[in-house]
């Protein structure tokens, strides 16, 4: 590479060439290519790199010469720059790093100078401690590197003890008995236990393992001269070195470096003698590396390795593992002959029945064969001698259940697959029978899938799910009680209505029979839907009765607590009125017409009969559709809404109802006078109505700030809850966010942690269950991120707060006090400069209004919207608003750097989820982030489906990455941290043997059922769609979602000269779409595309 750069100096800039070389050196270190690095270091006279290579290759003489040459060059450099050595940069260059001091200590130890080695290791320890103390307290990469080096320093000191003791034993100064080597054995055992984390860099693993191998070689040579020792002691060095080499090879395979793994296993050990246990481990890791390469020639080489292995030397469980790996190779290389792999897995389990990995691998093979058999049957291509799909299905389900019984973590990842098979492939009852027999599976296996189990009560698999829920109710009642209680409350009205309709239909049929008439048949599926609702409600009641009979005292306490929380911590009338006023104001901004246009009557009709809480919720979600501007006449729909608000908040019935906080009489009269559509002073246009609503919003905010404290007392708000002696804090916080008020409770856990829970009201059942499904999906994907080394090393994790349902419209949401919304930064900036936060919206609508007052939204209005967008960006909302807010919020630069990186990662993960599920509507008020950790939580995260039940993209941008975010993250953050986080998260989601498709299938099953029920106007029923149609929609949505994730992953071409495919270009296209001004200007004004 360097020669090509020197030959073509004009084609590549010097800075870019240096970056290429640095990246090549980094990759070569990770891939254990120290020979190539040493050759490059000698050709370029890079002494630091040469020193780093020589000690790993045990070339101690060359290392000593290189260190002397390096020291001479540093002395020359110091003499030439004596006048400038007081500067910080020169001091940093002249100082000897602790890494070099460690290498000198290793060299002294190899030469037998233990005292010099201990002196230098102590000096390196002091230098590292000083650097660690001087570094920031936050988890910066530099401090992490220093902390990782402490393990090397500790093991270097322990190595000196080994060298000293072996030297004494060799010279006859120590007693040569078995007890004399106890300390040596303890150090060796400690080294095995003191291994780095699996997601640590391969370079750090190499530093640890390679130095240990040097020590193991010294031990082997020392014991070789002690022939009278016990043979077990003689094998000490061989055994530990073989274990270390196999461990390093396994980690290389885990990190995706299969060629590196094979090179390590073949070259790093260096001896012919090896224990049987470690020989088996070497064969297993070689086979895994060949299997993970997915290249036909490599896989054939792996299969030949297993076929030529003499199994007589190994124990039965070792033989079982080798047969399992052989079955995996056969399943991949011979898909047209499934019985060969089937026979290999069967042989493996005949040798050792308690092998969970074999059960899981056999289940995966049978599952694939089941899908293939179903496809053949659908095309009528199944031959007479082929195994039926039902047989493969039975085998797969039995294998998965058997793996779960044996405690396999990988088998537990197939629980969503079992539930999917139970939902869609249980026509013959095979899956249900196997699950009914699996009563010995631990109940906690079903913890994460309680919402899916409850949803299955309304489906045909209810009889198989009910026993599982009953076992959960008996064993872990508190984990089930909250969801089951809310589920029954939501289903109660539908079930009672269905029972009454069925009774009336039965009576009508009996009366018609008595009259000799033919009974009228109900519409197709109507009775089935009613029966499903009634049956689900009855099954849920039976499970609840089991829970309360076994845990009566706990049930009473939980019921009383939920009753009090759901009724005592609701917003007061003034707070609800403020939320309604703010929602009405935003609805006016959503109207795409000028201030003189008329308001459509559609909105009046929709909300004419809604109560207050329903009005609030509808305004928050449905106010985005009104196509008028501020100059229009007030729509009749808004008039109807205001009339309902006046009646709900200020009527005599509302004033006389039981409640502690009442709106003042003069305020009631003033609001009715100003906002009653039937009154003479009601505004005639949207512009006047907006100004009137702004006035009322400011008045209500001032009233609440004066009258209502920021913190309430629990004993005053809910005396009965305080008397329950539960671990609840004595103070109840009042959280106001964008004119909406909540109560915050402090809950003390049994582990001593404090959890802050918001009591959220006004949530409809559909929105609440969707939020739970999204968080459950993120929690399942987090397990995949944890299992992937690259994503784990980057700390990629979605933030998944707890959600505890209290009522169908009330829930507890975990939220730390440090959380605030992204829009608060903008509102604070507007307050600082005395500017209304709504001014850009008004200005944008005014500039984009056509001759008739309508805001133009067609293709021809692109230039007009773009010019209005640019004008707002240049004159009203600058690009550093969010940056200024964070600079004043975070105390120091180190914490700001960590926050910026964490927030960038969190926004990248949110962007990936938006891209996966085509979710939009990410306005600033819906993005919550923690000011101390940078964790992000997205509210109202709901996928949108078209009429065919497929996910639909409704916005011009794939996710939110506006100019203020780009300015805060900087170009390096967007192109570096943001992109790498998205790519590595996508790779983790679609990693080999992952369960992302099964998890997505469960998500779409419930989400599509809820969408279909909403379309039919049924709040809790899941019978609005046929099972075959639902299965097709789930499969299609999962496939398209996986395809959207797959295009972000770079894939290597079979041709080594060809460039990488996918990944980079697709990520660049997404970033271009998200940051393009041409796309941002087409977003709705209330989305705040300029911020």
- The pLDDT tens digits of the residues spanning 817-837 come to 999 999 999 999 998 888 888
User: What secondary structure, in 3-state letters, does 14-34 show?
Assistant: HHHHHHHHHHHHHHHHHCCCH
Listed residue (96, 94, 120) closest to 107, CA to CA: 120
Axis-axis angle for helices 389-405, 430-437 (nearest 10):
20
Q: Residue 781: what pLDDT?
A: 96
Q: Residue 112: what pLDDT?
A: 82
Tokens 């074999």 found at = 358
Rounded Cα–Cα distance for residues 445 and 457 (Å): 19
What is the DSSP code (8-state) at residue 974? Answer: I
Axis-axis angle for helices 1027-1046, 996-1015 (nearest 10):
130
Q: Residue 392: what pLDDT?
A: 93
Decide if 450 contacts 483 (C-beta within 8 A).
yes
Bridge-based pairing of strands 819-821 and 740-748 is: unpaired
Q: Residue 588: what pLDDT?
A: 75
Going by C-beta distance under 8 Å and a sequence separation of 6 or more, which residues neighbour residue 35?
Answer: 57
Q: Residue 486: what pLDDT?
A: 92
Listed residue (1022, 480, 570, 540) closest to 763, CA to CA: 570
Low-confidence ranges of the chain (pLDDT < 70): 1-12, 70-96, 135-143, 170-180, 225-234, 380-385, 511-529, 591-668, 675-679, 684, 686, 725, 765, 851-860, 1017-1024, 1052-1064
Q: Residue 287: what pLDDT?
A: 95
Q: Residue 851: what pLDDT?
A: 65
Q: Residue 826: what pLDDT?
A: 93
Sheet containing 927-930: order of strands:
819-821, 927-930, 936-938
User: What secondary structure, in 3-state letters, does 860-901 show?
Assistant: HHHHHHHHHHHHHHHHCCCCCHHHHHHHHHCCCHHHHHHHHH
Sheet containing 754-760: order of strands:
711-713, 731-737, 740-748, 754-760, 810-814, 803-807
What is the DSSP code (8-state) at residue 927? Answer: E
The tally of CA atoms less than 13 A away on the side-chain side of residue 821 is: 19
∠ CA 559-560-566, rounded to 5°: 90
CA 33 centroid distance within chain = 34
- The pLDDT tens digits of the residues spanning 4-26 come to 555 555 566 777 788 888 889 99
Q: Residue 623: what pLDDT?
A: 32
Listed residue (271, 164, 279) closest to 222, CA to CA: 164
Please give the model's pTM, rounded to 2 decimal places. Answer: 0.89
Q: Residue 1008: what pLDDT?
A: 93
Listed residue (500, 505, 457) closest to 1021, CA to CA: 457
Tokens 């009429």 found at = 947
């Amino acid at each position: 590479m360097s020669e090509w750069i020197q030959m073509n100096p004009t084609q590549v800039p010097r800075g870019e060439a240096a970056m290429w070389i640095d990246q090549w050196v980094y990759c070569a270190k990770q891939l254990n290519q120290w020979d190539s690095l040493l050759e490059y270091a000698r050709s370029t006279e890079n002494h630091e790199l040469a020193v780093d290579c020589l000690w790993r290759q045990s070339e101690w003489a060359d290392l000593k010469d290189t260190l002397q040459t390096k020291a001479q060059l540093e002395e020359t450099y110091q003499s030439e720059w004596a006048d400038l050595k007081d500067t910080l940069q020169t001091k940093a260059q002249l100082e000897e790093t602790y890494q070099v001091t460690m290498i000198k200590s290793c060299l002294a130890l190899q030469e037998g100078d233990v005292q010099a080695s201990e002196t230098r290791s102590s000096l390196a320890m002091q230098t590292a401690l000083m650097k660690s103390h001087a570094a920031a307290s936050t988890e910066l990469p530099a401090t992490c590197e220093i902390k990782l080096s402490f393990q090397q320093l500790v093991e270097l000191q322990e190595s000196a003890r080994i060298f000293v003791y072996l030297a004494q034993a060799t010279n006859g100064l120590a007693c040569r008995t078995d007890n004399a080597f106890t300390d040596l054995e303890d150090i060796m055992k400690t080294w095995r236990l003191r291994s780095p984390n699996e997601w640590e860099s391969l370079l750090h693993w190499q530093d640890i393992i390679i130095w240990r191998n040097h020590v193991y070689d010294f031990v082997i040579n020392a014991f070789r001269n002690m022939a009278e020792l016990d043979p077990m002691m003689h094998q000490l060095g061989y055994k530990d070195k073989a274990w270390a080499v196999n461990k390093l090879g396994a980690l290389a395979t885990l990190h995706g470096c299969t060629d590196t793994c094979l090179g390590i296993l073949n070259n790093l050990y260096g001896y012919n003698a090896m224990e049987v246990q470690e020989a088996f481990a070497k064969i297993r890791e070689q086979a895994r590396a060949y299997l993970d390469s997915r290249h036909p020639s490599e896989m054939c080489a792996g299969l030949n390795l297993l076929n030529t292995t003499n199994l007589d030397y190994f124990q039965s469980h070792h033989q079982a593992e080798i047969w399992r790996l052989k079955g995996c190779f056969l399943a991949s290389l011979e898909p047209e002959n499934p019985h060969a792999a089937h026979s290999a897995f069967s042989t493996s389990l005949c040798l050792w029945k308690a092998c969970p990995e074999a059960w899981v691998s056999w289940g995966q093979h049978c599952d694939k064969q089941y899908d293939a058999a179903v496809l053949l049957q659908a095309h009528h291509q199944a031959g007479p001698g082929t195994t039926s799909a039902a047989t493969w299905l039975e085998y797969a389900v039995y294998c998965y259940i058997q793996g779960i019984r044996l405690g396999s973590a990988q088998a537990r990842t197939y629980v969503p697959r079992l539930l999917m098979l139970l939902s869609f492939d249980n026509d013959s009852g095979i899956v249900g029978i196997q699950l009914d027999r699996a009563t010995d599976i631990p109940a906690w296996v079903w913890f994460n899938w309680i919402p899916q189990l409850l949803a299955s009560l309304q489906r045909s698999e209810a009889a198989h799910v009910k026993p599982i829920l009953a076992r959960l109710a008996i064993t872990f009642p508190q984990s089930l009680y909250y969801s089951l209680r809310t589920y029954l409350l939501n289903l109660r009205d539908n079930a009672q209505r269905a029972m009454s309709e069925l009774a009336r239909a039965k009576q009508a049929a009996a009366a018609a029979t008595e009259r000799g008439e033919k009974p009228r048949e109900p519409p197709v599926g109507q009775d089935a839907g009613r029966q499903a609702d009634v049956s689900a409600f009855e099954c849920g009641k039976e499970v609840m009765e089991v829970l309360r009979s076994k845990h009566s005292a706990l049930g009473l306490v939980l019921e009383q607590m939920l009753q009090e929380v759901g009724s005592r911590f609701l917003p007061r009338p003034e707070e609800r009125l403020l939320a309604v006023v703010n929602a009405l104001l935003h609805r006016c901004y959503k109207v795409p017409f000028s201030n003189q246009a008329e308001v459509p009557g559609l909105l009046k009709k929709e909300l004419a009969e809604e109560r207050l809480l329903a009005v609030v919720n509808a305004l928050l979600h449905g106010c985005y559709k009104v196509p008028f501007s501020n100059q229009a006449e007030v729509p009749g729909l808004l008039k109807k809404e205001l009339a309902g608000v006046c009646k709900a908040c200020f009527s005599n019935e509302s004033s006389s109802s039981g409640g502690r906080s009442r709106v003042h009489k003069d305020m009631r009269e003033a609001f009715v006078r100003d906002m009653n559509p039937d009154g003479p002073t009601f505004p005639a246009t949207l512009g006047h109505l907006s100004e009137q609503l702004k006035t009322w919003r400011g008045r209500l905010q001032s009233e609440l700030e004066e009258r209502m404290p920021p913190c309430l007392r629990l004993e005053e708000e809910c005396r009965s809850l305080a008397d329950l002696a539960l671990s609840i804090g004595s103070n109840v916080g009042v959280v106001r966010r964008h004119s909406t008020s909540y109560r915050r409770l402090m809950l003390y856990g049994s582990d001593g942690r404090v959890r802050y829970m918001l009591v959220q009201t006004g949530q409809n059942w559909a929105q609440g269950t969707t939020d739970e499904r999204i968080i459950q999906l993120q929690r399942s994907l987090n397990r995949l991120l944890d299992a992937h080394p690259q994503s784990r090393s980057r700390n990629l994790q979605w933030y998944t707060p707890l959600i505890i349902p209290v009522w169908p419209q009330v829930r507890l949401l975990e939220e730390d006090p440090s959380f605030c919304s992204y829009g608060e930064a903008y509102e604070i900036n507007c307050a600082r400069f005395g500017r209304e936060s709504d001014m850009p919206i008004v200005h944008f609508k005014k500039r984009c209004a056509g001759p008739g007052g309508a805001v133009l939204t067609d293709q021809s209005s692109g230039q007009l919207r773009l010019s209005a967008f640019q004008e707002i960006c240049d004159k009203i909302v600058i690009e550093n608003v969010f940056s200024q807010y964070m600079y004043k919020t975070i105390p120091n630069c180190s914490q700001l750097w960590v926050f910026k990186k964490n927030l960038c990662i969190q926004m990248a993960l949110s962007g990936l989820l938006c891209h996966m599920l085509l979710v939009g509507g990410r306005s600033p008020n819906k993005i919550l982030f923690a000011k101390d950790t940078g964790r992000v939580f997205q509210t109202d995260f709901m996928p949108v489906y078209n009429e065919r039940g497929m996910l639909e993209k409704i916005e011009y941008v794939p996710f939110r990455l506006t100019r203020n975010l780009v300015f805060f993250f900087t170009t390096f953050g967007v192109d570096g941290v943001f992109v790498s986080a998205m790519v590595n998260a996508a790779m983790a989601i679609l990693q080999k043997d992952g369960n992302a498709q099964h998890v997505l299938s469960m998500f779409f099953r419930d989400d599509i059922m809820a969408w279909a029920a909403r379309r039919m106007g049924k709040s809790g029923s899941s019978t609005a769609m046929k099972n075959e149609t639902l299965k097709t929609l789930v499969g299609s949505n999962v496939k398209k979602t996986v395809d959207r994730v797959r295009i972000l992953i770079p894939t290597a071409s079979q041709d080594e000269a060809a460039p990488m495919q996918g990944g980079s270009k697709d990520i660049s296209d997404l970033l271009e779409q998200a940051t393009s001004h041409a796309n941002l200007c087409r977003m709705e004004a209330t989305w705040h595309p300029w911020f």
